[in-house]
Structure 1
Amino acid sequence: MPAPAPAGEPTHTTPLKRVPAIFYRTEAGNEPVRGWLKGLDRDDRRRIGESIKLVEFGWPIGMPTCRPMREGLHEVRTDLPSNRIARVLFYIDKRQRMVLLHAFIKKSRTTPMEDLELAKANKRKHERGVP
């Protein structure tokens, strides 16, 4: 009988993340998406976390969970109670990580340009070497 895997090591039955999620970090050390998530209630955080997890393990994944945007951006889509819709914008970096760039509660049919521009700016900064 083979020895059990060391604690924390994947076993043959543990599925591997195809694209592990990381939080974009600003030059000042802030993680905007993590901070946004902490401001939500526990149930909302859980639902959004489950959607992110679906992308991590199922990449590439399509609608209704994930949708490509433009310029290499994608969005994780999560329906929340009270007809609210959460969006987490991300890109896949050179190291095959899902970099969570920006998040918001969608209030209109289209993604606001300001939110897209902020995600694109964060992507450019991350690509230039901000961890």
Structure 2
Amino acid sequence: MDFIKIVGLIEKYGANLGKPHTQYLGSKLFEIRAKGREGIGRSIFCYEDNKTKEIIILRSFIKKTQKTPKQEITIALKRQKELEK
């Protein structure tokens, strides 16, 4: 499924869609898994706050391994902390 359709599902049903569309990564981070022209794309996101359903995409990349690389999660966590300031 493509990225835009998955975001629409998140808006309608929330982030816990489960595989193959989303996955909870911990620390209030979720991952979108979408097919694109260049392969499987992933985007790590969080909610803006607990009261809204607005999401913030913190990091996007093309998947090259089965598991989400730790450096991608580290970048997303750093950006998430910057938002909390």
Regarding TM over 0.5, the answer is yes
List runs of 5+ in structure 1 lacking aligned partners: 1-46
Name the SS for the 1:76 alignment partner.
strand
| Structure with the bigger percentage of strand | 2
The Cα shift of 1:63 comes to 2.0
Deviation at 1:81, TM superposition (A): 4.6
Pairing of 1:1-131 with structure 2 (within 5 A): 47-59=2-14, 60-81=16-37, 84-94=39-49, 95-96=51-52, 97-128=54-85
Percent pairwise identity: 23
Residue 8 of structure 2: SS of its match in structure 1?
helix
RMSD: 1.8
TM-score normalised by L of structure 1: 0.56
Name the TM-score, length of structure 2 as normaliser: 0.83
Deviations 1:101-131 (A, max 9, x none): 1100110111111111000011000111xxx
Per chain length, whose mean CA-contact separation is higher, i.e. which structure has more relative contact order (CA < 8 Å, sep 6+)? 1
